[in-house]
Structure 1
């Protein structure tokens, strides 16, 4: 009887925050062949939102290896490492810089990895800007049917190749479906770092949560927080709810909690948010979900994305016992896959990766739509922010590969991050308030 051999698929993920690491690592696992052993190497791009060990553990997305790198260090590693697939889980400018950098370092290489990128969650702002900065990857993943249609329209509208757009779903959906109320009935408010950003609005939401807990002492009310004080995630958090809650007389049935969102949803009976991607996780599991209208339905809040969902509601309605009922057609277009189709959501992407890896003669050079000819006043700045020149190669003075920071550099870096956090969370809000006087 022949012995079956299992091929090892080597995949790298480059991420610049905890949420993007979660998306990238889980995406890498979703698109890997089911009959292959996956070797997953993680690279964390050094910057203001580089995740802590606690944040990485909370994502529930482990790796076989993980290290922090600069852009130059990463490109040096990609020049010599024989990966099959590379997932770029970065902000748009970071993706574009890496695409140009990789094109340069792979110039004389006979074969290269399949490059995959996409958006971490709901795309409610900077649609064209974010998409064009991601153009040039072999696969640009769209988390829903609606996103796939919008992505193709943007690329075709500027004359760019739209064939890379590939419909999938959010990679972190899952968990047991909600089948009935828990004891006690649990309401979870999923906080967001930057939405809303105004102190008055955030204080209002905290006050309404407190009032809901007092009005329903038989319920457990949880304020689900994304990061601890001093940590950063994908978006800046100038006014953490922990600080707003400090010194307040909170009702005994209201608690501030951290942890993996999936574990919190295991005991949730009503998920409340302004526009968090947690709403899609909850809807996938059939957890009753409310997207707040108290502060208006506005593009700046991101809750306009949920128009037509059936989930829009106010705290007054929720206090009175309202439970939103989601629109099934809307759910289907958003890739929530509450109808049980999630198991096959990544099949097409997995097949495309396999075909690209088996392409005779290997893959052609990466070809971003932004070039020195199409965007001469924009692209050089995008590259320079990552210490890359117009040719995509590291600029003189960029950190060399394999140079670990010494003790002085580590101390300076920690101090700089601390000063940055202090400026964002303490100084900037005071200056804004003074300006409003």
Structure 2
């Protein structure tokens, strides 16, 4: 049953990166039936208990990244997939948010189905996407099928999601329209002093050194051309840290070779804090564009490298925000298309306050369902995808039926100091290999 004033709703979030932890934790606070009266309040609900689980892997967030996200949990620990499933068998939760890549969601759905098969009660299971869905639509959606709620961040996404599920004769009833949980902040009221241009960088878009160097040079040139402006390069992570995507060529490293003007700065921190002083947001295809549009800040999605699916900026066709650096330097300022903005869940018209009502209502009904919830029923099974599903499950040390494989990494207690040191060293070596060694090997292979 939904939480009362004396019994807080118990909520768990499993995430595999800093951005997904941010999405999962904020989403949990917004969709919990006992959540705050004002859905726009991101401070969290006082009447829920939030336990966070961080899936161990290449992108497990560091303490700095977790602090930058700014979302508090009542408990937070790092786990393997098998350790998480054990916790879900031993603990009793009302709501579970899976903030993972598609394969991780699918593996957890099968593992959870297995461990809950003899339990009369189970949590409501929710999943979704961190931001703009511009690639692998069918693949990602079918890997998420089986959750009680599959959240769509906009009206457009909700329609696309249902079309995919119905097209393979899978139940589309789980698709629930919401909005991105991290929108908010004060609306833009006019230029700051100094006028501030912010470029929102992305870890993997674009990928090549040539393209990333080009964008950095244009940003620096803009700063030199406008010495009266402050020009900021907003970075997602520091060298050695991983986020949702691997960043092989950090802008920090590229910028070391340039003579940077005094009005050009690299910045980290919460995106909302940076937007508080932004007069023009520029990006290739970052979700930061939607945060900026929500606050009615002038926003540009760059066309310099083309409008291409590989860049993700094709998603913004029709937005009115597409422009090049040449146009910006000439004084162009974009005017967003209001109809496009409304379909993207940006909710700049004030409707954000009710964007999560439908999800809360559905969860309330599911929690109150007599006799508990039925077993999880993912679309992918050993019958529908015998050549695909076993490999996905095996990556998380699960067998075809969701049972942990022999020798799967798990621990009955928290690792000791020596094991923690070894684990950190191993992760550091892995990240060094991904960011430093692998790119060199690839370049050598292209010679």
Q: Which position in structure 2 is the counterpart of 1:224? A: 234
Displacement, 1:249?
1.0
2:75 matched to 1:62? no
Query: Are the equivalent residues in 1 in contact too, given 2:293–2:299 (CA < 8 A)?
Result: yes
1:361 counterpart residue number: 371
**Counterpart in the other structure of 2:39:** none
State the distance in 2 between where 1:301 and 1:125 align. 10
Partner Cα distance (1:38, 1:403) in 2 = 26
Aligned length: 434
How much does 1:14 deviate? 0.2
Q: Secondary structure at the match of 2:273?
A: helix
2:425 aligned with 1:420, yes or no? no
1:270 paired residue number: 280
Q: Is the contact made by 1:96 and 1:134 (CA closer than 8 Å) also made in structure 2?
A: yes
1:398 to partner: Cα distance: 1.5
Alignment partner, residue 142 of structure 2: 132
Q: In 1, distance between residues paired with 2:410 and 2:422?
A: 19
**Which residue among 66, 69, 91 is the counterpart of 1:81?**
91
2:27 corresponds to: 27
Q: Which residue of 2 aligns with 1:37?
A: 47
Native 8 Å contact 1:76 1:401 kept in 2: no
Deviation at 1:6, TM superposition (A): 4.5
CA distance, structure 2, for counterparts of residue 92 and residue 138 of structure 1: 15
Contact 1:119 1:141 in 2 (8 A): yes
SS of match in other structure, 2:164: helix
C-alpha distance in 1, partners of 2:445/2:189? 50
Q: Matched residues in 2 for 1:384 and 1:187: separation?
A: 46
SS in 1 for 2:301: strand
Work out whether residues 77 and 401 of structure 1, in 8 Å CA contact, stay in contact via their aligned partners in 2: no
SS, match of residue 20 in structure 2: helix
| Aligned mate of 2:269, from 259, 283, 287 | 259
The answer as to whether partners of 1:74 and 1:401 remain within 8 angstroms in 2 is no
In 2 relative to 1, CA 407–7 (structure 1 residues): closer, same or farther, beyond 3 Å?
closer
| Alpha-carbon distance between aligned partners in 2 of 1:395 and 1:435, rounded to the nearest angstrom | 36
2:399 pairs with 375, 380, 389, which one?
A: 389
2:117 to 107, 113, 116: 107
TM-superposition CA deviations, 1:331-370 (whole Å, max 9, x none):
0000000000000000000000000000011100000010
Q: Give yes or no for contact 2:5–2:47 (8 Å, CA) kept in 1.
A: no
Structure 1: 5+ residue stretches without partners: none
1: CA distance between counterparts of 2:309 and 2:433?
A: 27
Partner in structure 2 of residue 15 of structure 1: 15
SS of 1:194 mapped into structure 2: coil
Partner Cα distance (1:425, 1:305) in 2: 28
After TM superposition, the structure 1 stretch with the greater mean CA deviation from structure 2, 392-401 or 167-176, is 392-401
2:173 to 163, 174, 182: 163
Question: Following TM superposition, by how much is the alpha carbon of 1:418 offset from its aligned partner in structure 2, in angstroms?
Answer: 2.2
Q: CA deviation at 1:5?
A: 3.9
- SS of 2:199's equivalent in the other structure is strand
Measure, in 2, the Cα distance between the counterparts of 1:279 and 1:426: 30
Cα distance in structure 1, aligned partners of 2:166 and 2:431? 41
Match status 1:90 vs 2:65: no
Partner of 1:145: 155
Partner of 1:249: 259
Q: Superposed, which structure 2 residues align to 1:202-221 within 5 Å?
A: 202-221=212-231
How much does 1:30 deviate? Answer: 0.3
Q: Contact (CA 8 Å) 2:134, 2:309: kept in 1 or not?
A: yes
Q: Give the gaps of 5 or more residues in structure 2.
A: 37-45
CA–CA separation in structure 1 for the residues paired with 2:439 and 2:407: 35
Q: 1:288 maps to which residue?
A: 298
Deviations 1:120-173 (A, max 9, x none): 100000000000000000000000000000000000000100000000000000
Distance 1:143 1:242 in 2: 32
Once the 2 structures are TM-superposed, how far is the Cα of residue 256 of structure 1 from its aligned partner? Answer: 0.2
Corresponding residue of 2:205:
195
Deviation at 1:175, TM superposition (A): 0.2
Q: Please state how far the C-alpha of 1:376 moved relative to its aligned partner.
A: 0.4
Instruction: Answer whether contact 1:142 1:148 (CA < 8 A) is retained.
Output: yes
**How far off its partner does 1:407 sit?**
4.1
Structure 2: distance between partners of 1:368 and 1:397? 26
Partner of residue 333, structure 2? 323
Aligned partner of residue 150 in structure 2, secondary structure: strand
Q: In structure 1, how many angstroms separate the alpha carbons of the residues matched to 2:403 and 2:418?
A: 27
Taking only aligned residues, the RMSD between alpha carbons, in angstroms, comes to 1.2
Instruction: Give the structure 2 partner of residue 299 of structure 1.
Output: 309
